[in-house]
Structure 1
Amino acid sequence: MEDLRRAESELCVSRAMQLHAHLPKAQGTISQLQWIHHVLFQDIYDWAGAIRTVDIAKGEGLPFQPLAFFNTGVAYCEQMLREDNLLQRLSRDIFVKRLSVHYNNFNILHPFREGNGRTQRVFWDIVARDAGWHLDWGLVTGERNDQASIAGMQADDLRDLESMFDDIVKPLTIPLEADVPYTHLADELLSVGDSPNIGYTFTDEDYRQWQSRHESHASEADVT
């Protein structure tokens, strides 16, 4: 099992390094997220790049966007990022704050059965690059990212995400910690490991809460 995990992580990192050398222009869309996922995981999953077809939660039971409201969630995430002009022409402080908001929004979507975190890293690298920044992921552990993401999902508490991004957002002129982008991911994934996503059955109360969230987003973004 360990050999399999190492092989999978090395394949993913290899694809990420290839992609980083030829990053496309940022689109800020779920379609671009799917394309990145396919590039990273085409050697591992037959369904690389495909949107999940089941409701899922993290290993500790934290549910992600239900499929019943998935399209609304996608429309909200894309529209909010588009209205923020893909985070371009912002001061560093505002960039960090708005990046934290959008990172949390897309993380709640969790469109794939596995590999969401690694896909998001590349996705936001592209957005940051086009906005005049890069993200030094080598300075943050997977555990720190997970805890910040959980806080954002559970209570819309973005302070940990803002702190994390404040530590890793750098001007493009400042070298990254890692000489070769994403090489740190291989050892990180093996030492920390990904808490697996599991199937999740939403209760009536769950759906009421998500319906309320859906109505709030529809009102905020005029998404129907």
Structure 2
Amino acid sequence: MTPAERQSAVAFALRNLLLDDRQPSSSALQAASDFMAGRKQAEALVDQARRLEAKADALTDALFLRTTLVCQRPWATEGDLEELRAIHRRLLPGLPEERALRRPQPNDDASLYPAAMLEQGAAAIGQELAAEHNLASLDRPVFVDRLAHYYDELSYLHSFADCDGMTLRIFLSRLSHDAGWDLDWGQADPTAHRRAIQRALRGNTDDLQALIASMVRPVNPTRIFLIAGWDQGPAH
């Protein structure tokens, strides 16, 4: 990774945790700083994350370091539940497969998709996404609208009992980048982000669309700005 890529990876990992109200410790932040400066290699972060996961009170630090490195460990980008599982495994590699997916509980949250039907729900979302060519070649307003739709659908699905939001943000970042847009999660205020997700779950995606619109940046800004204009995307 280049120094800029390391800095970007650390910034994303930190923001991804903060959006779930998780705060890494000073020692984990120091390890990330050493990584950005080239004083610590990726393998050292992997080893540190492995040691941290064994301590119940250090899971956040392990998640922080693993998220920093998540893009160095590619997975099959199929836009389906298997891709979400692959990302989730990178965050929680020690979690048994049978405990990863959300399971039906007597007091299940009625605002979420029925846990017993996760496989079917995920398949429907994956098929819809594939039919839309994974949101490739869309102008910016259309892309924002459709990404908000899928963020809402996947939040409602809530595939994982733990780290579901973190997994979704990694997935959405991958999906957006491949479609020609990058997401600047640093623009997402945690309180506004939670409110937007909750309102979307109740049927109003206006706040979620506004949030995504503030985050979307073209992967190739020179081509977008000089040839097409801000509201037009990679198709032009």
| TM-score class normalised by the smaller sequence | 0.5 to 0.7
Is 1:170–2:217 an aligned residue pair?
A: yes
Structure with more contact order per residue of length (Cα contacts < 8 Å, sep ≥ 6): 1
SS at match of 1:157: coil
1:57 is displaced (CA, Å) by 7.7
Of residues 53, 77, 85, the one that matches 1:34 is: 85
3-state SS of paired residue (1:65): coil
Distance 1:13 1:76, change over 3 A: same
What SS does the corresponding residue of 2:101 show, helix, strand or coil? coil
The aligned counterpart of 2:170 is: 122
Q: Which runs of 5+ in 1 are unaligned?
A: 175-224
Is residue 63 of structure 1 aligned with residue 111 of structure 2?
A: yes
Q: CA deviation at 1:64?
A: 1.2
Query: Structure 1 pair 48/119, CA: closer, same or farther in 2 (3 Å)?
Result: farther
Gaps of 5+ in 2: 1-22, 26-54, 222-236
Aligned to 2:144: 96
Structure 2 residue aligned with 1:53, among 96, 103, 122? 103
Q: Distance in 1 between matches of 2:189 and 2:170?
A: 16
Two-structure CA RMSD over aligned residues (Å):
2.6
The one-letter code of the counterpart of 1:30 is L
Between 1:116-125 and 1:132-141, the stretch displaced more is: 132-141
Residue by residue over 1:107-130, the C-alpha shift from the partner in whole angstroms, topping out at 9 and shown as x without a partner, is: 111011111100001001110111
Percent identity among equivalent residues?
25
Q: Distance in 2 between the 1:21 and 1:147 partners?
A: 32
How does the TM-score come out when normalised to structure 1? 0.67
Q: Which has the higher helix share?
A: 2
Q: Is the contact made by 1:133 and 1:171 (CA closer than 8 Å) also made in structure 2?
A: yes
Which structure's CA Rg is the greater one? 2
How many residues are paired up? 169
How far the C-alpha of 1:5 sits from its partner, in A, is 7.7
**In structure 1, C-alpha distance between the alignment counterparts of 2:154 and 2:214, rounded to whole Å:** 20
> How far, CA to CA, are the matches of 1:29 and 1:77 in structure 2?
8
Q: Please show how residues 1-224 of structure 1 align to structure 2 within 5 Å.
A: 7-24=58-75, 26-42=77-93, 45-47=95-97, 50-55=100-105, 63-154=111-202, 156-173=203-220
Over residues 169-215 of structure 1, what are the superposed CA-to-partner deviations in whole Å (9 max), with x where a residue is unaligned?
A: 111246xxxxxxxxxxxxxxxxxxxxxxxxxxxxxxxxxxxxxxxxx
Amino acid at match of 1:52: R
